[in-house]
Amino acid sequence: MNEPLARDTDDDVDALRARWARERKARLAAEAIAEKATRELYDRKGDLELLEAVANASNAAKDLRSALKVTVDAVCNRSGWPVGHVFLLSRDGETLVPTGVWHLDDPELFAGFKRMTEASTFTNGVGIPGKVLASGAPIWIEDAKADPNFPRGQAAEGGGVNAAFAFPILIEDSVVGVVEFFSPVVAEPDDRLLEMAAQVGLQLGRVMERDRHTREIARRAEELSRYSTELEHANDELKEFAYVASHDLTEPLRTIAGFVQLLKQRYEGQLDDSADEYIGFVVDGTERMQALIEGLLSYSRTGRSELVATPVDLNDTLNRAIGALAAAIAESKAELEMGELPIVAGDATQLGRLFENLISNAVKFRGDRPPVVKIGAELKGGVWLFFVSDNGIGIDERHRERIFNVFERLHGAGEYQGTGIGLSICKKVVERHGGRIWVEETPGGGSTFKFILPGLGGDATS
């Protein structure tokens, strides 16, 4: 009765053993798969960390060299390879030159190789860097010393340099540098490492591009500042020249004017009619020239010295300007309407000239009706807005900017007398006081000159 039971038991044990063996195999296989997957994940994580480190270094690096150094260190630490170095393409676009950016686990061991590398340059196709330059792709060499195209093989002898891999730094499709790594063991190509290296190369290309742009911007900024200094010098010289020239011309011109006047007084009517006419032309010409030179002198004087600002009550300034123009105002029967003006910080003489020039023009450029000139100011947004308006001949819109330039006149001397300097002085005065001047049309006809001046201590241009 027991026997069948014993057989049953043996069969069960066998079956159990077989099942256990199957399960063990399956479990080992599953463990192997899991281990492989974990390792791959771990490697991927490492790769990503490396790329992230390179990206961070690229963004944070103050200069290109520090970004290259961080990258070479990161790749060596990640791959376990002890030697890394960077070549950059020279300006000629054909030669790779060593940068002095290295990662060396053991500087003494690799000293010979480093010396040799730093004394070498590589052109298309020559050595490991030259090969990468030619192909634009990463390369892997299992045993560099056995490679006939490895000029530094001799120095590598003592240094334990065997396997090598290198990748290009790319800006778009152009190789701008090569990063190379060496290992003392002969190693099989590692596709993952190569793929990651390609990514790093692209990343470094972006850093180099940014570095180039930054340097280009700095170069242009420096150039601009040089031009601007030169321009300032030229401008100063020109101002000085205008001042000296007009100043020195005054004296001989005064002599000419004096003698021509004398000629006219003594000999008018004694010569023939043409001679009288010619003398008249010379007198007119010299007077105009005197007015021009005086204007020029006044213009160059306005910008010569630093503005010394003191509180100026513009009501006083305006009254003095009107006093100086009394004859012209009376002769033209001009009607003046004046509002209350403020106190500003400025140069009283220059501000006086500003009002005098504007009011003189308002009276001078009258049409058929008697001139009505209005002068006033209002506080707008923290700055004083002044106006001097007239009901005169007006200014065509297309000339409203250029009339502020020196010698710009819209009329011949026969129509309206003048030198074309008055408004350029006005502009200079207003701008030196930190303000702005322009002209608009008066409703109903005429011109309204407007300007802003900062209040006491303010800045009207901001």
Q: What is d(CA 114, CA 107) in angstroms, rounded to the nearest whole number?
A: 9
Q: Does 395 bind ligand ADP (CB under 6 A)?
A: yes
Between residue 416 and residue 435, which ones bind ligand ADP under the rule CB under 6 A? Answer: 418-424
> From the CB of 404, what's the least distance to ligand ADP, in Å?
7
Q: Pick between residue 201 and residue 435 the one whose CB is nearest to ligand ADP.
A: 435
> From the CB of 288, what's the least distance to ligand ADP, in Å?
11
Strands 335-338 and 372-380, sheet pairing: parallel
Q: Does 190 bind ligand ADP (CB under 6 A)?
A: no
User: Which one among 180, 347, 356, 390 touches ligand ADP, defined by CB under 6 A?
Assistant: 390
Q: Pick between residue 144 and residue 426 the one whose CB is nearest to ligand ADP.
A: 426
**Cβ-based burial of 353 (10 A; exposed 0-12, middle 13-18, buried ≥19):** buried
Show the beta-strand stretches assigned E in 306-430: 310-313, 335-338, 343-346, 372-380, 383-389
Measured at CB, which residue is nearest to ligand ADP? 418
User: Which one among 210, 409, 432, 436 touches ligand ADP, defined by CB under 6 A?
Assistant: 409
Closest listed residue to residue 56, CA positions, set 42, 46, 44, 66:
66
Q: Pick between residue 86 and residue 423 the one whose CB is nearest to ligand ADP.
A: 423
Beta carbons within 8 Å of 114's beta carbon, 6+ residues apart: 85, 102, 104, 107
Structure tokens at 10: 């043996």
Q: Does 183 bind ligand ADP (CB under 6 A)?
A: no
Q: Does 356 bind ligand ADP (CB under 6 A)?
A: no
- Which of these ranges, 99-107, 257-265, 334-342, 402-410, lies near ligand ADP under the rule CB under 6 A? 402-410
Q: Pick between residue 269 and residue 412 the one whose CB is nearest to ligand ADP.
A: 412
Q: What is d(CA 405, CA 217) in angstroms, rounded to the nearest whole number?
A: 34
Q: Pick between residue 57 and residue 359 the one whose CB is nearest to ligand ADP.
A: 359
Tell me, rounded to whole angstroms, the distance of Cα 122 from its chain centroid: 37
One-letter amino acid identity for 397?
E
User: Which one among 113, 365, 384, 386 touches ligand ADP, defined by CB under 6 A?
Assistant: 365
Structure tokens at 68: 């290259």
Q: Does 328 bind ligand ADP (CB under 6 A)?
A: no
Run of H or E residues at 177: strand 174-183
81 forms beta bridges with: none
Question: Which spans of this chain sit near ligand ADP (rule: CB under 6 A)?
Answer: 357, 361-362, 365, 390, 392-393, 395, 403, 408-411, 418-424, 447
